[in-house]
Structure formats: structure tokens, C-alpha cells
Amino acid sequence: MTSIDVTEVSTHTDVWCSPRWIHPTFLPASGSSAVRISLMPSAQTHEIPAASRLENIRYAIRDLACVADELTRQGHKVVPLNIGDPLNFDFHTPPHIIEAVYKAMRDGKNGYAPSPGIPVALEAIRGEAARKGITTVRDVFVTSGVSETVDACISALVNPGEDILTPRPDYPLYSAILCKLGIALNTYDLNEDDAWQPELADIERKVTPHTRGIVLINPNNPTGSLCTRQMLEQVAELARRHNLLVFSDEIYDKLILEDTPHIAFASVAPDVPCVTFGGMSKNYLVPGWRIGWGIVSGEAAAVKSYTDGVQRLLRARLCANHPEQYAIKPALEGPQDHLVEVQRKLRSRRDLTQKWCEATPRVSCVAPRGAFYAYPKIDIPESDEIFVKELIRQKHVMVVHGSGFGQKPGTQHFRIVFLPDEQTLTKAYAGIADFIRERYGKP
Ligand SMILES: Cc1ncc(COP(=O)(O)O)c(C=O)c1O
């Protein structure tokens, strides 16, 4: 009698069977009347491939972390000018909103919340919409960060074969979600020569009968630009003509670095179907809490079916984080003192950044007017991705390459997060200037 192993079956059972059930290659040379099969436990080694839809998903902001991790392991300190998390620097969450979440947890608000959000938060968001000048609010809902609002609102709109116009450069979440849904990208350019305003002629060129919506990011990541009122009116006009839903991502609307106030798209176009995205991550310095929201506005009849679709998706995912929702009302309606301090720091760091860009050969930059990003152009004979990776390796300063956000062919950029204090920024910028001089020489 003979025994053979059959691998990749996770059980210990041994069985005996007739040789006629065994493939001849497994049988011993000498004849035998029964074969013992030992079903051995073993590791599953077959590769599980990811869905091919995901092949084009890149998140350059975090993908670069591998290069930085290697340097950190070698004992170097890397200056992170790549991730827009104010809590990594000298910014602090307002204590009264932390108290509100503590209290909610102590009061037992630890179960599931209603799918659209808790009533007290929804009421506060409606109040915020009114302060933003949005008069035709049809629905509001709370999500796990603006990231989830974007996902739900795009998923509820597009069918296979349809598309949504997204800006180039853009915040990469938009293209990632479209890839996930199997929707082909349709990007319109932001015009660097016009302070990064949307290029209307390009939008007109790109709209097709299958285009369902358009994304505006205002204030913008990665450029730090603000849309002018005239631009918003022109986009509204275009949306009316082509029956588009506008997604207006206004997550940075309280981080304005100019004296002019932020203008909400939905306030200039109350009739145009629009979802305004807002959240706590940046304005209230709690990106880890994952609280965002959507405000649907426009003619009631026009947005009804779409809003029902969003709500169906929200029910399917149960709810957003529950205790954290209790911070929404005190954040939006309580003291806003922290914003004065945040804006003071950001203005000073923006000015320092802009001066450096103006003084550095091969670098030029449209001055940021909102958020905490600068998006300088660089004039170099190689790709901005190589520039960024070599900069990390040689000077231990981490920025993100423009190609990670999309840019007009033939141009190169990098995104700076100017959240660190002035001393850290000055040192980092000196490192970048040295790197540019040493690697590329004079232009
Ligand atoms: C333009 C923009 N939208 C959305 C998000 C995601 O925000 P949240 O933390 O609320 O998911 C970010 C984060 O950086 C962003 O820059």
C-alpha cells in the first residue's frame, strides 16, 4: 500500500481509495490495491488579483510615503510638506467640540445613528447653508468625511457609459471613485494663466450628451485658488444649458487667505441642481473624526429622484460616526476664535511660500488665496515625479508631484502643503532651492 499527499486542502482527514480514482502520474510504480490520500493543511498560494477597474487609481499624496519610510528607517527626519493634516503641526482642535464628543459618548450615543445623520446636526448644517447664502436647500445628510459624500453623490448619479467633468489638476479622490465605478474620466483644465480658474472653453468642448455633472473644488486643492463670482455664474449658465448637476466641494470655505469672502456656488445659482460638500476635517481641525456632509439645493422637482437615490445609498451603509456628530452644532454655532488664529498662521506661511517661489530660479507660482496649498510650476528637463522622489532622497523634503493631480501635458508642478511653522518652512525651502540649483543649474 502507498500513501501520497494532496496539498492545498485544509483538512487533516486521511482517506483510502482505489487506484483507479487517482491520476496515473501520482501512482507508485509497483501496483497496489488501495491508496492512502493524506489531505494535508497548507497555505493558499493562488494569487487573488484586484479588480482591473482599479488599475488607474493612484493616490500620489500617500503613495510617496514608501520612499519617505525608507529614509525614516535609515534614521533621517523627513519634512512632510505632502499631507494636508493641520494636526501634524501647530494647530489644535477647539476644546469645546472635543467636550461635545466626550459628552455624547458618556451619554451613551454609541449605537448606530439615523442614516442621514442626527437631527440636531442636520439642523445645524441647514443653518450653515443659510449663512452661506444657499436659499433652496432640499436635503442635507452627514457622512464619514467629505470623502464619503463624494462617493455617495457620484455613485448615485452616473450610469455606465455616462461621465462627470472633473478638474485637471484635481483632488485625486474624484478620479479614484470614478475608476472604482468603471466610469471613464472626462477632465477639464484649470487655467494657470487665469489664476487657475476653470477653462470654460475646455468645459464646453468636453461636455457630451452623456455628461451628467461637473465638479468644482473651491477653494481648490491643489492650487489654492478661489473661483470668482463671475466664473461661478458662467459655470451655472453652462450647467443650465447642459442639464448638469454641480458638485461644489467647499471643504476649505473658512480657510480664506484674502479679505474677500468665500462665495458658495449654490448661493449664486439657487435654481441649478447642486450638492455642496462641507465638513469638519479642515475648518474645525479634526480630520481623524471623519465627519462631512452634503447640502442638496436647486428646484425641488428637479433634485427629488436624485436625492432619493443618495438616501438609499446612505441607508445601505447604515450611518456616519455617531458621537462625533454631536460636535457639528457646537462647531458651526459656537465660538469661531480658532479660525482667526488659523488664518493668521496660514496667511503668514502663504506669504513666506510665495516670496520663496518668486525668488527661486525655475520656480513660479500663482499666489494661493484659500486652503493651505501652493502649486508652483517648475522648469526642469525631467519629470516632476523624478524631481519629487530625488528631492526626498537627497534633501529629505517631501512634496507631491503635479502629475499625481493631473496637469496640462508639457507642464511640471509640485504641490506644497504650507502648514508647518515659518522656521520649518524656511529650512525646507532652502533645501529645495539647493536641490534645484545642484541638479539643474541656471535656467
Ligand atoms: C478638496 C478635498 N475634498 C475632500 C477631501 C476629503 O475630506 P474628508 O477628510 O472630509 O474626507 C479633501 C481632503 O484633503 C480635499 O482636499
pLDDT digits (tens, 9 = 90+) for 225-257: 999 999 999 999 999 999 999 999 999 999 999
Q: In sequence order, what are the residues at sequence separation of 6 or more whose Cβ sits closer than 8 angstroms to the Cβ of residue 180?
A: 53, 54, 57
CA of 45 to the centre of ligand 1 (A): 37
User: Lowest-confidence range among 8-22, 212-226, 282-296?
Assistant: 8-22
Segments forming the whole domain that contains residue 234? 95-333
Amino acid at 356: W
What number of other Cβ atoms are within 10 A of residue 339's Cβ? 16
Instruction: Please report the DSSP string for 376-409 in residue order.
Output: -EE--SS-HHHHHHHHHHHH-EE-EEGGGT---T
- pLDDT attached to residue 215: 98
The count of structural domains within the chain is 3
Residues 344 and 312 in one domain: no
- pLDDT attached to residue 442: 79
Which residue from 151, 171, 283, 405 has its CB within 8 A of the most atoms of ligand 1, so it is best to mutate? 171
- pLDDT attached to residue 5: 47
Calculate ∠ Cα 321-245-271, nearest 5°: 105
Rounded Cα gap, residues 83 and 178, in angstroms: 22
1 vs 253, residue with greater confidence: 253
Ligand 1 pocket residue status of 283, Cβ below 6 Å: no
- pLDDT attached to residue 123: 98
CA of 172 to the centre of ligand 1 (A): 10
Which residue from 148, 154, 173 has its CB within 8 A of the most atoms of ligand 1, so it is best to mutate? 173
- pLDDT attached to residue 7: 41
Q: What is the pLDDT of residues 384-425, one digit of tens each?
A: 999 999 999 999 999 999 999 999 999 999 999 999 999 999
- pLDDT attached to residue 278: 98
Q: What is the pLDDT of residues 23-70, one digit of tens each?
A: 666 666 666 666 666 666 667 778 888 888 877 776 666 667 778 888
**What's the alpha-carbon Rg for the chain, to the nearest Å?**
27
CA of 294 to the centre of ligand 1 (A): 13
CA of 411 to the centre of ligand 1 (A): 25
Amino acid at 366: V
Residues 322 and 246 in one domain: yes
Q: Where are the beta strands (DSSP E) in 303-385?
A: 363-364, 373-374, 377-378
Across the chain, mean pLDDT equals 92
**Are 359 and 151 within 8 A, CB to CB?**
no
- pLDDT attached to residue 1: 41
Ligand 1 pocket residue status of 281, Cβ below 6 Å: yes
Q: Does residue 49 belong to any structural domain of this protein?
A: no
Q: Does residue 363 belong to any structural domain of this protein?
A: yes
Q: Does residue 365 belong to any structural domain of this protein?
A: yes
Calculate ∠ Cα 78-346-188, nearest 5°: 85
Residues 220 and 266 in one domain: yes
CA of 278 to the centre of ligand 1 (A): 9
Residue nearest to atom 16 of ligand 1 (CA): 221
Ligand 1 atom, smallest distance to 279 CA: 10
Ligand 1 pocket residue status of 82, Cβ below 6 Å: no
**Are 210 and 163 within 8 A, CB to CB?**
yes
**CATH number of the domain bearing residue 173:** 3.40.640.10
pTM: 0.89
Q: Which of the listed residues 274, 304, 333 is the one where a domain comes to its end?
A: 333
Amino acid at 111: G
Q: What is the pLDDT of residues 17-32, one digit of tens each?
A: 676 766 666 666 666 6
Residues 246 and 363 in one domain: no
Above 60 in pLDDT, residue 350? Answer: yes
